[in-house]
Structure 1
Amino acid sequence: MEHCLLSKLKAQPLWVLALFSVGSFSLLRFFLAFLNWVYVNFLRPGKNLKKYGSWALVTGPTDGIGKGFAFQLARKGLNLVLVGRNSEKLKDVSDSICAKYAKTQIKTVVVDFSGDLDDGVSRIREAIEGLDVGILINNVGVSYPYARYFHELDEELLKNLIKVNVEATTKVTQAVLGGMLKRKKGAIVNIGSGAAIVIPSDPLYAVYAATKAYIDQFSRCLYVEYKNSGIDVQCQVPLYVATKMASIRRSSFFVPSAEGYAQAALRWIGYEPRCTPYWPHTLLWALANSLPESIVDSWRLGFSLNIRKRGQLKDSSKKE
C-alpha cells in the first residue's frame, strides 16, 4: 500500500507535490501544537512554589483575583504580605486565611496606590526587610466605572489609571526585585488583560487597555533581563473573570470565579513569559485570532456601547 501511494505521488506534477508537502507540514504543526496545548493545560505539573521563597507578596488582595491568589498561595504553604488600601478589608482577609490555614504567617501593609506612592513603596520595603519574599503577584489595578470615550475621561480617573496600573506595578516590582536578586531566585507575576493582548482593540476602554499593554511589554523585557538570574517573570492574561471590576457576579464555563482563576494560575507560575492560565480562555483567544480584526473591532465597539448605555442609566438614576 505504501509503495502504491509513493508511486501515485511520484506520478503527480511538481506543483501538486509542493502543495501536498505544505499541507502535510501544516497538519503536523497543528497536531504538535494541539498536543502541546493538552500537555500544558491538563498534564504539566505546577512547580513547587516554596522553592522561590517562603513568603509571597500580593497587591490588591481584598477582592477578586488578588484575594483568590492570597488564599491559593496560603493553601500551598506560603506566608503572605498583603498590600491594600483598606485596613479593615485587609484584616478580614487575613483573619479568613488564618482561620482556614492556621500555620500561615501574614503581614499587612496599608497602601493607597492612587495616593502617595513613594511613601507606600517605602512602607512595603520596610515590611519585607529580612523576609524571604520569593513570589510577587502584581494584581492591583483600576478600570473605568463603565465604558467611556477617551475625551470623556476626567482628570482623576485618567491619573489613577496610569498611576495604579503602570507606576504602582513598576515601583513595587523594583522594591521587591532587589531581594530576589540577592537570593538568586524569585517569581514575578504581573496581571495583564485580554483587552490589550487577545483582541486588537478595546474601544471605550482605551487608557485601561494601553496600561495593560505596558504591563505585557514590561513583563516580557524583565523576563529576558532576569531569566539567567534565577528569576521567572510572567504576564498572565485573563479574559473575563467574575469580579467586581468586571461587573460580573456569576461564574460560568468561560467566566471563572476569582478562586477558580487563581487555582489555575498557580500551575503556570515559572513557565511561559505570557500565558492564559484558565484553559477555556484559550479557546476564546483562538477564536479572536481566527477572525478578521475589523470584525472583532466592530463586535467590541458594539459591546462597549451597550455597557456605556447601562452605565449612563445608572448614573442618571443615582442623580435622580
Structure 2
Amino acid sequence: MDMAFWFVSLACIGALYVATICARPLAYLALCLRRPKDLHSYGSWAIVTGPTSGLGRSMAMELARRGLNLVLLDLDAANLQETSDAIKAVHAVKIKTVVFDLSLVATPQACVLVVGDEAMGRLREAMDGLDVGLLVNNAAVNTPGAVYLHEADIERFVRMIRVNLWGLTEVTAAVLPRMLEQGKGAIVNVGSGSTVAVPSFPLYTVYSSTKRYVATFSRSLYVEYKSKGIDVQYQVPFYVHTRMLSSAVKAKLRPWFVATADEYTRTAARWIGNGPLCVPGAAQKLQWCLTGFVPDWVHDWYRIRLHLQHRAVTRAARSGSRDRGHPVPTPNDNSVGPKIRG
C-alpha cells in the first residue's frame, strides 16, 4: 500500500510539473488567436528610449507603422536626427527628440542646456501637452561584455547600473503622473532571458542583476497600477541580432537561435497590454519552455562554459585589432543602445 501511495504521489507531482511547463506554449497560442490591443486606446504618443539602433530602432519603426507619434530619447543628437528622418521617410507620424545621456542620471553632470533645470526636466517638457499613452524602456548597457567581476573597470559597472536601473526608474516615474491623470497607459520594460530562463548568468553578472531588478520592478508596478488603467509589462527577449551582442559571439551561435530585431518587435508590439510577462516569438518561447526541463546545476555548468567561450572570442577579436593597429572595439558599449539577449 505504501509503495503504491508514493508511486501515485510522485506521478501526480510529475504530471503537475509537466502541465505547468506546457502551459507556456498554450498561453502563447491563446494570444496568437486573440486580436492585439489597439495601442491608440492608450494614447496617440509613445516614448522610446534607446531608439537609434537594434531593438529600440525596430520598435520605434513598428510603433510608427501602427500610427503612433513618437518621443525618442537618446544621448546622440545626430543619431536621433537620422532615426527620426528614417522613420518619417516611410511613416506619416510626428516625432520629438530628447538628447539625454541616461548614464548621467543621479549625478551632478545630469544637467541640461537650460541653466537651472534638471536632466529629467527635458523629458517632462517634451511631454507637455502630449497624449502620451505608451512608454518603452529599451535603453540598456552591457559593457564590458563577458568578464570576471575583478577584470573590469568598476566605473563601467556603475555606468551600466545608472542606465539599466536608475535611468529606467526615473524615466518611468516621470511618465506615470500623466498616465494617472488620463486613467490609462502602458509601460513596456525590455529585459533579458537571463532573468527568467536560467538560475545564473556568469561573466555577465552585473548586467543580469540589473535585469532582475527590472523584472521585479515591472511585476510590482503591474500589481500597483493595473487597477488604475495602466498596463505594465516585462518583455523578455532571448538572443537577438543587435550590437549588444558582439559579432564575434554571434558567429558562434546557430542562426535559428537568434532572432532579428524586426522579427522580435513585430511580435513584441502584439503582446503589449497582455499580461505582466511575455517572451515574444514562437522560437524564443520554445527556448524558454525547454529550459524549464533542465536542472539548475546543468544550466550553471553550461552557462559558465558558454560564456567563457564568449570571453575568449571577444578577447581574441580585440587582440587581433591591436595587432593590426586598428582601434580596439568596445562592443556592447552604448549608454542608451540595444541589449544583449540570452
State if a TM-score over 0.5 links the two structures: yes
Gaps of 5+ in 1: 1-12
Q: What SS does the corresponding residue of 1:210 show, helix, strand or coil?
A: helix
Matched AA of 2:170 = K
| Residues 113 and 120, structure 1, Cα contact 8 Å, conserved in 2 | no
**Higher RCO structure (Cα 8 Å, ≥6 apart):** 2
Residues 293 and 16 of structure 1: is their aligned pair in 2 closer, same or farther, counting only changes over 3 Å? closer
Q: CA deviation at 1:287?
A: 1.5
Q: Which residue of 1 aligns with 2:320?
A: 317
* Deviation for aligned residue 1:256: 1.4
Task: Please say if 1:111 is aligned against 2:100.
Answer: yes
What does residue 64 of structure 1 align with?
54
Query: Cα deviations across residues 149-206 of structure 1 (Å, max 9, x unaligned)?
Result: 0111202211111100000000000001110000010000001101122111010010
Cα 1:208–1:29 change in 2 (3 A) is closer
Pair 99,53 (structure 1): closer, same or farther in 2 beyond 3 Å? same
Q: Which residue of 1 aligns with 2:71?
A: 81
Which sections of structure 2, spanning at least 5 residues, go unmatched?
112-117, 324-342
1:126 aligns with 2:125: yes
Alpha-carbon displacement from aligned partner over 1:8-40 (angstroms, at most 9, x marks no partner): xxxxx9859957994997599479835433222
d(CA) in 1 for partners of 2:267, 2:142: 23
Identical residues among aligned pairs (%): 44
1:144 aligns with 2:143: yes
Cross-structure match for 2:302: 299
What is the TM-score when the length of structure 2 is the normalising length?
Answer: 0.83
SS at match of 1:201: coil
CA distance in 2, matches of 1:111, 1:297: 38
Q: 1:39 aligned to 2:38?
A: no
| In structure 2, C-alpha distance between the alignment counterparts of 1:123 and 1:178, rounded to whole Å | 16
Q: Counterparts of 1:135-214 in structure 2 under 5 Å?
A: 135-214=134-213
- Contact 1:70/1:80 (CA < 8 Å) preserved in 2? yes
- What amino acid maps onto 1:77 in structure 2? G
Q: TM-score, normalised by structure 1?
A: 0.88
Q: Distance in 1 between matches of 2:46 and 2:240?
A: 22
The 1:291–1:17 alpha-carbon spacing in structure 2 relative to 1, beyond 3 Å, is closer
Check conservation: 1:134, 1:180, Cα contact below 8 A. yes
2:278 — aligned with what? 275
Judged with a 3 Å threshold, the aligned counterparts in structure 2 of structure 1 residues 35 and 238 are, in CA distance, closer, same or farther, namely closer
The residue type equivalent to 1:38 in the other structure is L
Q: How far did residue 114 of structure 1 move?
A: 1.3
User: Within 1, Cα distance between the matches of 2:172 and 2:206?
Assistant: 21
**CA 1:30–1:163 in structure 2 vs 1: closer, same or farther (change >3 Å)?**
closer
Amino acid at match of 2:102: F
Contact 1:241 1:255 in 2 (8 A): yes
Query: 1:57, 1:20 → 2: CA distance?
Result: 50
Aligned residue-pair number: 306
**How far apart in 2 are the matches of 1:317 and 1:267?**
42
**Deviates further, 112-121 or 44-53:** 112-121
- Give, in angstroms, the shift of residue 291 of structure 1: 0.7
Whole-angstrom distance in 2 between the partners of 1:30 and 1:98 = 45
Superposed CA RMSD in Å reads: 2.5
- The answer to whether the aligner puts 1:100 opposite 2:90 as a matched pair is yes
Secondary structure in 2 matching 1:107:
strand
Residue deviations 1:181-232, cap 9 Å, x none?
0001000000110112211101001000000000000000100110000000
3-state SS of paired residue (1:199): coil
Aligned to 1:240: 239
Q: Which residue identity does 2:199 align to in structure 1?
A: P
Deviation at 1:265, TM superposition (A): 0.3
Change (3 A) 1:61 1:318: same
Aligned to 1:10: none
Runs of 4+ deviating beyond 4 Å: 13-21, 23-32, 248-251
Is contact 1:81-1:107 (8 Å) kept? Answer: yes
